[in-house]
Amino acid sequence: MCRSIKTLRPPALPEKATEEEIRAAALQYVRKVSGFRAPAAHNREVFDRAVDAVTEATAELLGHLEVRGAGTAS
């Protein structure tokens, strides 16, 4: 989908993804699907809420994924 979004689970990352890495991926996703690199002032609030929601969903996903041979990824 978006080449600048990197895989955030082991073994792609040797350690647990940081909050900054998760938020950066969420921001790239929202930019891609909205078509805006930086939203206009009248769209800023909804854009930021979307980034927050995707960040939360991504953190939850990564916290519950089980990677074969590595146990739980959290």
Residue 16, in any domain of the structure: yes
- Number of domains making up the chain: 1
Identify the domain containing residue 54 by its residue range.
1-66
So what's the pLDDT on residue 73? Answer: 46
SS3 breakdown of the chain: % helix, strand, coil, rounded to 5? 55, 5, 40
Residue 1, in any domain of the structure: yes
Residue 73, in any domain of the structure: no
So what's the pLDDT on residue 2? Answer: 58
Residue 71, in any domain of the structure: no
> Which pair of tokens denotes residue 69?
């041979």
Residue 74, in any domain of the structure: no
pLDDT at 71 exceeding the cut of 60 = no
Dihedral over Cα of 53, 59, 60, 65: its sign: positive
